[in-house]
Structures are given as C-alpha cells and as structure tokens.
Amino acid sequence: MDTEEAQDNGAQQHAGEGSSEPDAAQAAGESSESASPTTTNPTNDADAAKPQFSQLQVDAKVRMARLDARKELDAELLQLQQRIVELEHECQAARASQSDLSDRFRLLQEGVASIVQEHERTLVGMKETLQVEKLVATLDTETSAKEALRVALEQQNKELLTAQSRIQALGQQIQKYQKTETVLAQSISHFQHRASTKDHQRAATIERLKQEMEESHRAATTAIQQELEQTKQSNDSLQEALTALQGEHLGLQQSARAVLKDKERSDALEQQLEREKAMLASKAEQLQKTDAQLRSKAHTQAEELNALVQQNELLREENKELTKIATDLMEISEKQQAEKERRQQATPPRPLDGGEPQSARKRQRRSVG
C-alpha cells in the first residue's frame, strides 16, 4: 500500500511539473509579445527576440533534463521499493518455513523418544550387549545431529533478524531520499519561479538580463551537474545496498538448503533406526527359534545318549559273558587237546593223518573266536 501511494504521489508531482512547464513557456511568450510593441526599431526587436528565444529553449531543455532525471529516479525508487516488498515476503516465507522446521524437529524428537522407549522395552532380557552398544552409539549420533540442526536453526534465526534490521535501515534511507527529493522539488519550483520573474524582467531590460541569464545559466548548469553527481552517488549507494541484500538473500537460501539437508539426513537416520529395529526383531525371533531348536535337539541327544549308555552297559555285560564263555571254551579245548595228545602218545602214530591235530586245533580256535 505504501508503494502504491508513493507511485500515485510521484505521478501527481510529474503531472504538476508537466503542466507548470507549458504555463511558464506561455508566460514567457506572452511577456515577449507584450514587450515587442513597446519597441520602435524593428532591427532592435529582432536582435532582442533572438537571444530571448534561445534562452527559452535552453530553459525548456533544462526542465526536460530535470524531468527525465526525476522520472529515472522515481523508476529506480519504485524498483527498490518493490525489491524491499519482495524481500519482506521472502522473510515471511522464511519465518513460516522456520516454524514448520521447528514443528518437524519437535515431532522428530518425540518420534525418537518413542523409538528409544520401544527399543528399551524390546531389549529387556536380551544378552546381545554388542548390539545394544551399537544402538546407543547410533542414538548418540542422532542426538548430535539434532543438536547440529538446532544450532543451524538458531543461526538462521540470527540471519533473519539481521536481514530485518538491514531492511529497516534501508527503509530509513529511502525515507531520507524521499525527503531529499522533496527539497529538490521545492528548489526546482523556486528556480522556475525565479526564471519566470526573470522572463518578465527581460522584457524591460534585455541587454542587462542577457548577461544575468548567461551567468544564471552557467550557475544552473553547474547546479544540475552537482545534482546529477549527487543522484549518481545516491544511486550507487542504493545499488550497493541492493547487492548486499541479494548476497544476504543468497546466504539465507544456502542456510535453508543446509537445513533441508540436515532434515533429510535426520529422516535417513530415522529410517535406518527403523530398519535396525526390524532387523533386531527378526534376529530376536531367529534366536528364539534357534534356542527352541537347540533345546529340543539337546533333549533328543540327551535321550539318545542315555540309550547309548544303557546299550553300552548291556554290551559290556554281554562282552564279559562272552569273554568268560570263550575262556571256558579255551580251557575245555586245551583239556581236550591234552587228552588227545595223551591218547596219541599212547597209540602208534599214523603217517597219513599227521596234520589232523593241528587242523583240529585251528578249527576249535576258529569256532571259539
């Protein structure tokens, strides 16, 4: 609204100046027409009209130059005011994004707290201390990342406050520039009044006013040049301020990108925690299943071991009995062999059956074995 009112005031001032210039030219023409009948010599009238007409042209050109310079300054002022409005909108958007980031940060803290509580409830009774330490280290890392995000948000708040203070300072400079412009307009109107007065006086004393007009023209040209230099300097200062604001705007954009990157990193950490939580749950289920399988297998192996121990005891007892039987059979066999040898010694030997006792002994041993 302030920008539109400034534009309307500038347009009204331009319109007033534009209307005053033709009136001044008309007044000068009327003064020249009123002065021409008083002269009696046509040659003197022609000589007097020539420098007066050229001086009017010079005055008109000076007014046009001032009007053009004023229009350019008004256009630059309008652009600068529009830029200030845009920067204020950007600051409001940055504040809104900052509030959104604060809400998201708070929600993230609550989610992390709930995740930590859930992990604590899940990890009760588990004996994997290494996984618990890893989870604690991950949570510490996420806490440090959150702290860095909080520091970045505070830095962004400081930068926003700095930008607001710079915008206020720039607004004060614009107000000073508007005051200077008002003073300049008053001086221009005063100069126009003086020029019209000199035009009326020129009708009576042309020769004297010719020299005065030349001197005033030189002074006006010097003043206009000085005013143009001052205007250029003020324009340069405003351009530097605009460049500084653009740099601050770029810095705010970079800080916003950094905050978005930190948010993405925090989301990635949260997703990683969710995946690790799912992995821990699946590992817990696998451990429970493996424990049940191992217990059932240990129970089965214990039963098999008991059966093998009992079978081993039975085999030992059978082995003892078989050993005893074999010993008895060996004693009986030896007794029988001794009896046969005694019988053979008592009877005459047979040449054809010489290998029979040895083969019979082998058969007995084989049967015993």
- Cβ 192 vs Cβ 24: under 8 Å: yes
Least confident of 149-153, 160-164, 192-196: 192-196
**Tens of pLDDT, residues 88-116:** 888 788 788 778 887 878 887 787 777 77
Instruction: Choose between 326 and 119: higher pLDDT.
Output: 326
- If one counts every other C-beta atom within 10 angstroms of the C-beta of residue 343, the result is 9
Vertex 190: Cα angle to 5 and 185 (nearest 5): 25
Looking at residue 145, its pLDDT comes to 81
DSSP state of 268: H
Give CA 55 to chain center in angstroms: 64
pLDDT band (50, 70, 90) for residue 366: low
Token look-up 């010097």 returns: 222
pLDDT band (50, 70, 90) for residue 53: low
Looking at residue 132, its pLDDT comes to 60
Is residue 233 pLDDT above 50, yes or no? yes
Token look-up 């007033």 returns: 16
- Cβ 251 vs Cβ 159: under 8 Å: yes
Looking at residue 202, its pLDDT comes to 63
In terms of average pLDDT, the best of 1-5, 98-102, 174-178, 276-280 is: 276-280
Is residue 130 pLDDT above 80, yes or no? no
* Spatial distance between the Cα atoms of 369 and 20, rounded to a whole number of angstroms: 149
pLDDT band (50, 70, 90) for residue 184: confident
Looking at residue 269, its pLDDT comes to 84
* Spatial distance between the Cα atoms of 364 and 359, rounded to a whole number of angstroms: 9
Is residue 27 pLDDT above 50, yes or no? no
DSSP for 78-98, written as a single string:
HHHHHHHHHHHHHHHHHHHHH
In terms of average pLDDT, the best of 4-18, 165-179, 327-341 is: 327-341
Looking at residue 350, its pLDDT comes to 57
Q: Is 341 exposed, middle or buried (0-12, 13-18, 19+ CB in 10 A)?
A: exposed
- Cβ 63 vs Cβ 21: under 8 Å: yes
Is residue 12 pLDDT above 80, yes or no? no
Looking at residue 87, its pLDDT comes to 83
* Spatial distance between the Cα atoms of 219 and 227, rounded to a whole number of angstroms: 12
- Assessment of whether the complete model's pTM goes beyond 0.85: no
Once rounded to an integer, what is the mean pLDDT over residues 288-303? 85
Output the average pLDDT for the chain.
73
**Tens of pLDDT, residues 244-284:** 877 877 887 787 788 788 888 878 888 888 888 888 888 88
pLDDT band (50, 70, 90) for residue 25: very low
Contacts of 227 (CB under 8 A, 6+ apart): 69, 184
CA-wise closest residue to 51 among 192, 217, 191:
217
DSSP for 261-302, written as a single string:
HHHHHHHHHHHHHHHHHHHHHHHHHHHHHHHHHHHHHHHHHH
* CATH code at 2-293: 1.20.1270
Locate the domains of the chain by residue range. Answer: 2-293
